[in-house]
Amino acid sequence: MKIKLIAASNKKSGISNFWEMGTFAKLTNKRYSQISLALPTLAALTPSGIDVEICDENIEHIDFDEKVDLVGITTNTYTVNRAYEIADTYRKRNVTVVLGGIHTSVLPEEALQHADSVVIGEAEEVWGELLNDFKENNLKKTYSSNSKPKLENSPIPRWDLVKTDSYTYHTIQTTRGCPFDCDFCSVKLFFGKEYRYKPIANIIKEIELLLKIKKNKIFFFSDDNITANKKYARELFEALIPYNIHWVGQAAVDVGIDSELLDIMYKSGCRQLLLGFESLSEKNLEQVNKPKINKVENYSKIIDNIHNNKISIIGAFILGDDSADESSFEKIKDFIEDNSIAFPQITVLTPFPGTRLYKRLKDEGRILNEDWNNYSCGVVCFKPKLISNEALQKGYIWLMRELYSYKSINKRFGSLWDKGILVKKNGNKRKIFTKNGFSLFLKSLLSQDWESNKILWKGLINKKEPSLSSLLGTISLHNYAKKLKF
Ligand code: B12
Ligand code: SF4
């Protein structure tokens, strides 16, 4: 029996979003940032004796003519339309299709219009049963486990089947679940409140394996909140120290109050943290149920503390909450610049199906658009409360242009550079970018507006310099890159 596990391409879903990090991958001479962990995880759960193949449409074409018995496709909301197209193509060829992942778990009825079977929730406890049923020609429409799988016995993902050379990051998941319960988040809904851990010894084995496959690659910890349990986090970070890796991870902002933990994080190789600031309005943080961890009055102190530990920040802010008005965009811009947040991750509030946010907006008749291709966090799909949807869309584009203008980047990076956050403690330059990567990276940041994005992509693909003069400000990127001595 042969199984093919597929991730649908973002681009073919109509998404061109900086936060897919495709441009970043180009800068590191890779084709994409990282593989969807679902694929090597499912491959590892597949009993030996079954032939498994992994195909990520973000880095390769799908060979629909290849002979396979079963196709499994992973889904997020923003790629699900393309996943359905792939599923339909296979089914026309009489290949059995199984769908799984965060989107189809919430909308299995929608998914069943395109699949023979849908796995609802995590696959660990049902994938084996599904394969058995398939062999016996007795496939059920849906599979779901009664409990959240324990991660103690999780097999190491099948990295031998992944084309790791095509990705910027080695990706690892150490925990699942989140003790918090934010209104807009799919994670809590899917992985649950109980925080589950992989044993640290297993994570270390996985790191050793990945380092054998490729040294000097940055690690991306795909945990939603890697420091939710400080004791576990500390143990994990201490165990990482001897491996001399660099890593990027995601945490709640409360990580910034614990200087001792930040120090171990730096020593363990943490160089960048994605933090969900979400909003500068206490009222809104309360409405989205995030007031316990996010205290706006502490934000600047937290940021300084993290910077003092030589860790840079990807700061996530959401536009369009119920307290957002015309003045919100400028306030966020000023805050980000004043606090030197290197990589602002600005998103439009997006009512992902299944979340409390979706239900509330649906009940209030405020959902404007349910074409899942638009659920990329850059398109307004709902009616905001205090401003029009057009004003929100315009405000988003304005803010992205401002923050990724040369002037703003220069201000933020210049200040980080002066504080020494862009260098290692021992004085060496960070090796995150390839030699000419940094200037390309800045260009990609500058291309955040939708029109010039197209020009930039064309320019990169043809390896020609696109004209960015309207965006560059006074000093050229070349000079900027030189200042950074790459
Ligand atoms: C790593 C990551 C990324 C990476 C990309 C990884 C990739 N190649 O897909 C990056 C950083 C690029 C990224 C970007 C974005 N992301 Co993201 N990301 C994640 C994150 C943190 C981890 C994913 C992961 O590795 N999970 C671990 C695996 C093992 O879990 P899993 O995929 O759910 O798989 C299990 C089950 O679902 C099931 N399963 C899954 N697929 C299948 C298939 C079959 C056949 C079967 C049987 C079972 C099955 O089995 C698996 C094992 O139990 C998740 C949050 C999370 N915890 O999952 C968000 C998440 C997927 N991202 C999300 C979002 C919104 C985005 C952005 C839009 C954010 C933005 N600011 O722009 C962008 C999208 C850009 C783009 N166009 O791609 C949302 C998606 C919500 C939704 N409903 O779709 C999530 C859930 C985060 C959240 N807070 O809600 N992301
Ligand atoms: S803290 Fe992060 S992962 Fe947890 S529920 Fe809130 S947004 Fe989701």
User: Which pLDDT does position 483 carry in this prediction?
Assistant: 37
User: Which pLDDT does position 23 carry in this prediction?
Assistant: 57
Q: Which CATH architecture has domain 168-419?
A: Alpha-Beta Barrel (3.20)
Give CA separation, 76 vs 187, 252, 371, 375, 426, in Å: 12, 22, 13, 10, 41
242 alpha carbon – ligand 2 mean position (Å): 30
Residue pair 136/185 in contact by the 8 Å Cβ criterion: no
94 or 420, greater pLDDT: 94
Instruction: Give residue 417's pLDDT band: very low, low, confident or very high (50, 70, 90).
Output: low
Mutate to test the pocket of ligand 1, among 20, 130, 185 (most ligand atoms within 8 A of CB): 20
Instruction: Give residue 139's pLDDT band: very low, low, confident or very high (50, 70, 90).
Output: very high
Q: Distance between CA atoms of 275 and 161, rounded to whole angstroms?
A: 32
Q: Which ligand is nearest to the CA of 74?
A: 1
User: Which pLDDT does position 22 carry in this prediction?
Assistant: 64
Q: Which ligand is nearest to the CA of 24?
A: 1
Atom of ligand 1 nearest to the CA of 354: 83
**Which residues are near ligand 2 (CB < 6 Å)?**
178, 180-182, 185, 187-188, 224-225, 252, 276
Residue 312 one-letter amino acid: S
184 alpha carbon – ligand 2 mean position (Å): 8
Give CA separation, 111 vs 87, 98, 255, in Å: 10, 9, 38
Residue 365 reports pLDDT greater than 60: yes
Instruction: Give residue 210's pLDDT band: very low, low, confident or very high (50, 70, 90).
Output: very high
Mean pLDDT value across residues 133-143: 98
Degrees to nearest 5, angle at CA 168 with 163 and 173: 80
Helix count (H) and strand count (E) of the chain? Answer: 20, 14
Residue 420 reports pLDDT greater than 70: no
Give CA separation, 14 vs 36, 38, 53, 104, 319, in Å: 18, 22, 26, 19, 22
Percent of the chain past pLDDT 90, that is, above it, reads: 64
Question: What are the structural domain ranges in the chain?
Answer: 2-144, 168-419, 437-483
User: Which pLDDT does position 69 carry in this prediction?
Assistant: 98
User: Which pLDDT does position 40 carry in this prediction?
Assistant: 98
Report the nearest-CA residue for atom 25 of ligand 1: 37
User: Which pLDDT does position 450 carry in this prediction?
Assistant: 33
Report the nearest-CA residue for atom 3 of ligand 2: 224
Q: Which ligand is nearest to the CA of 223?
A: 1
23 alpha carbon – ligand 2 mean position (Å): 26
Atom of ligand 1 nearest to the CA of 45: 52
Residue 437 reports pLDDT greater than 60: no
For residue 150, give the DSSP letter. Answer: P
Percent of the chain past pLDDT 70, that is, above it, reads: 81
Mutate to test the pocket of ligand 1, among 16, 70, 73, 74 (most ligand atoms within 8 A of CB): 74
Q: Which ligand is nearest to the CA of 186?
A: 1
**Which residues are near ligand 1 (CB < 6 Å)?**
10, 15, 17, 19-21, 33-38, 41-42, 72-74, 76-78, 98-103, 119, 122-124, 127, 173, 185-187, 222, 224, 345, 347, 352, 376-377
- Which one is the CATH code of 2-144: 3.40.190.10, 3.40.50.280, 2.40.50.140, 1.10.287.1260? 3.40.50.280
3-state secondary structure labels for all residues of 247-279: EEEEECHHHHHCHHHHHHHHHHCEEEEEEEEEC
Average of per-residue pLDDT values in the chain: 84
Nearby residues of 87 by Cβ (< 8 Å), 6 or more positions away: 71, 73, 97, 99, 114, 115
Residue 465 one-letter amino acid: E
109 or 395, greater pLDDT: 109
452-471 per-position pLDDT tens digit: 334 443 443 333 333 332 23
36 alpha carbon – ligand 1 mean position (Å): 7
142-168 per-position pLDDT tens digit: 999 888 999 998 899 999 999 999 998
User: Which pLDDT does position 27 carry in this prediction?
Assistant: 57
Residue 15 reports pLDDT greater than 60: no
77 alpha carbon – ligand 1 mean position (Å): 9
Residue 430 reports pLDDT greater than 60: no
Atom of ligand 1 nearest to the CA of 33: 12
Residue 223 reports pLDDT greater than 90: yes
Residue pair 352/75 in contact by the 8 Å Cβ criterion: no
Q: Do domains 2-144 and 168-419 have the same CATH topology?
A: no
Instruction: Give residue 291's pLDDT band: very low, low, confident or very high (50, 70, 90).
Output: confident
Q: Which ligand is nearest to the CA of 176?
A: 1
Residue pair 105/190 in contact by the 8 Å Cβ criterion: yes
Mutate to test the pocket of ligand 2, among 173, 178, 285 (most ligand atoms within 8 A of CB): 178
325 alpha carbon – ligand 1 mean position (Å): 30
167 alpha carbon – ligand 1 mean position (Å): 16
Mean pLDDT value across residues 312-326: 93
Instruction: Give residue 254's pLDDT band: very low, low, confident or very high (50, 70, 90).
Output: very high
Q: Which ligand is nearest to the CA of 228?
A: 2
